[in-house]
Structure 1
């Protein structure tokens, strides 16, 4: 069910690495990882000489292999498409980039239709059966028969074909539950229960508003916590307690008291920092960062030796999301000495 994952990792002031959150619905940002490497190698080629930086350019090839492995039909060349909401989506560049790099069609919902229990793509040479859909559309808009009836972005009848096993979806419907910040708090317990192992990387300590003790701690210590809604992303719907005024905290807490189940809280962790250039001062200044490695799960598991390093470009901010003014950096993983 989970074929493409992006895991956000941070390093705290004590040097420990922690998992900040999981992205299993439609993780984004990988095109920026690839674009950053292309820009760096073209503008500063001598910087890479002798450094033995492990390549990441094979990501799209590995992604294509993963998607091919999902095909319900046993054919040499399954038909794979990238389903996008269209050019007005903020991640459209990535949708187009990945489709182009993989050599597959970039389609919108209107390019596909269901007939005879299968999904078909309209082409200039007639219809073509679709085997695998790498969907970049949220569940709610995927099929107006199954979800939102007013959706114009999805494909009517798609869910029924998916249920019958005649088309594969990456990632599967319902994966968004793993992105839920309340579910995140239980992941270490899930690992222990199902695998009888302890997580290699711990979670950030998390207090649940749905828990009486967690809610009380949240309300009493808001000035030291980051409080988030459980179902939002992109840096929206959150309160950074130490950076908010007393009035802002109280206004936010009134929402927490009204719907405590919708909130979680975590201690503010001062993320590790990396220099970034600021044009207004003409200087490099320290900015907080996190790292999003990408994992592909098909017939084998592929972890890209790098990832998307996200940078908080607002001075002093710990919010690295691009929707909140964040940027990104090329990330190097060097070969081990014995590999050189």
Structure 2
């Protein structure tokens, strides 16, 4: 451990009863944070504030935004996502363990999704109750028996991890449908290289830029066409979507088409992109639209976002869709509780990364325990994400807890509960002063036709910018950090 250099405004830095990523105790910095500590310790509060303003100006100029929806307001509010310039640093040994655990988890989840839509061995062998499949809002009977290009259902995923006060990592959530945040990972690294080249380029950290090439290679591998240059399009709901910046960024960086549903048409069970001079066949569709809206003939008939007949083209094998429709069956928060059993069942291995302890509230005994200890629980609606449909018992009012209690008693299948975990903290700069904030880690995984998961080094650290808050979601006002993995 290196000695803690005095940091501007850091008097005192409250460690409390949390795991701090940077500081081992009040006098010691963790070894892999040494260069970061020395850099920021050598800057005055005025210099730090100037850097912060420079970052915000760059983000505004480049349109790095996220749209917030406030029920109290009629119009959505677009803003730059808060970016903290003190990077989160992960040691090589720690990352090796995380990477192995993430690869193990995604491999098992992909096997599970294939099994669910084919033989359902895991149900027949009594590992998962059939009702958990059939009652799952993300289960798509239309996918039963359908052959998925390359056997890869989960082309992109974002696995949310937290570190508890015991120093161990736990998997909080699996995002397997249309995970977001890729652009903030890549742009965060670009900003750090521009503003702190002497720090980011001199430190021995894993590169992330090559993962954009890997992303494109993964999409290309799914093409059902024998063409050496498949046509790939990113299907977006449009400019009013909260993550539209990311859609445009990824399409531009990978050199693929950015399209809305109205730009596509299906003819003879093939998907075509409309051009001024005619039509061009699309081989791979990277969709950022939920299942319900991708094809009004197959799912929501009133959807104006999707492409009529898309599922017929998919069934005919003329187009690949990433992620495959129906992946949400493994994304459900109740199904999450069975992932350790999936790993044991399909891989004959013990899970490397544990789940957060979880109560399934459709089970009477677990429901009773959760309701008796609501102030110690985070209660989540199983089908929602982004911080919506959630109650943090320690922060909720008596009225809010009573409202959730009645909802749970009325529809217990829709809810799970987890004990409030002590998310680790990392320093952020607030007006030139270093202050601790709670964080998590979204690890991004890419998987193509070879079904060999690639974990992007570091992923995206999400930050609860409000003091004491445990909610890191961008949709709830959270920010992000660049995340370094030591090479």
Per the TM superposition, whether the score is higher than 0.5 is yes
Unaligned stretches of 5+ residues in structure 2: 1-152
Distance 2:248 2:479 in 1: 20
Deviation at 1:51, TM superposition (A): 1.3
SS of structure 1 residue aligned to 2:285: strand
Distance 1:193 1:246 in 2: 42
Matches within 5 A, 1:309-328: 309-328=461-480
TM-score, L = length of structure 2: 0.67
Deviation at 1:49, TM superposition (A): 4.1
Residue 241 in 1 paired to residue 389 in 2? no
Q: 1:183 corresponds to which residue?
A: 335
Describe the superposition over 1:117-160 as per-residue Cα deviations: whole angstroms up to 9, x where unpaired. Answer: 20110012321000000000000100000011110000000001
Describe the superposition over 1:136-185 as per-residue Cα deviations: whole angstroms up to 9, x where unpaired. Answer: 00001000000111100000000011011110000000111222100001
Q: 1:220 corresponds to which residue?
A: 372
Q: 1:91 aligns with which of 243, 264, 283?
A: 243
Deviation at 1:248, TM superposition (A): 2.1
Q: 1:60 corresponds to which residue?
A: 212
SS of structure 2 residue aligned to 1:243: coil
Describe the superposition over 1:98-120 as per-residue Cα deviations: whole angstroms up to 9, x where unpaired. Answer: 00000111000000000012011
Residue 116 in 1 paired to residue 268 in 2? yes
Matches within 5 A, 1:33-52: 33-52=185-204
Residue 138 in 1 paired to residue 279 in 2? no
Distance 2:399 2:201 in 1: 54
Describe the superposition over 1:42-83 as per-residue Cα deviations: whole angstroms up to 9, x where unpaired. Answer: 011111243111110122211110000000011110000000
Describe the superposition over 1:251-300 as per-residue Cα deviations: whole angstroms up to 9, x where unpaired. Answer: 22111111111000000001000111223xx4221100001111111124
SS of structure 1 residue aligned to 2:483: coil
SS of structure 2 residue aligned to 1:198: coil
Q: 1:21 aligns with which of 173, 185, 189?
A: 173
Q: 1:294 aligns with which of 440, 444, 447?
A: 444
Q: 1:278 corresponds to which residue?
A: 430
SS of structure 1 residue aligned to 2:167: coil
SS of structure 1 residue aligned to 2:239: coil
Q: 2:52 corresponds to which residue?
A: none
Q: 2:311 aligns with which of 153, 159, 171?
A: 159
Q: 1:269 corresponds to which residue?
A: 421
Describe the superposition over 1:77-102 as per-residue Cα deviations: whole angstroms up to 9, x where unpaired. Answer: 00000000000000000000000000
2:233·2:259 contact (CA, 8 Å) conserved in 1? Answer: yes
When residues 49 and 166 of structure 1 are mapped into structure 2, their CA distance, relative to the original with a 3 A threshold, is: closer
Q: 1:205 corresponds to which residue?
A: 357
Runs of 4+ residues deviating >6 angstroms:
none
Unaligned stretches of 5+ residues in structure 1: 336-340
Distance 1:231 1:49 in 2: 42
Q: 2:146 corresponds to which residue?
A: none
Distance 1:276 1:250 in 2: 35
Distance 2:436 2:412 in 1: 36
Describe the superposition over 1:283-325 as per-residue Cα deviations: whole angstroms up to 9, x where unpaired. Answer: 2211000011111111243111111100000110001001111
What is the root-mean-square deviation of aligned Cα atoms in Å? 1.0
Higher mean C-alpha displacement, 236-245 vs 9-18: 236-245
Distance 2:298 2:473 in 1: 31
Distance 1:50 1:119 in 2: 47
Distance 1:249 1:107 in 2: 43
Distance 2:399 2:258 in 1: 47
Distance 2:480 2:412 in 1: 34
2:193·2:201 contact (CA, 8 Å) conserved in 1? Answer: no
Residue 103 in 1 paired to residue 255 in 2? yes
Q: 1:308 corresponds to which residue?
A: 460
Q: 1:338 corresponds to which residue?
A: none
Distance 1:188 1:308 in 2: 24
When residues 136 and 49 of structure 1 are mapped into structure 2, their CA distance, relative to the original with a 3 A threshold, is: closer
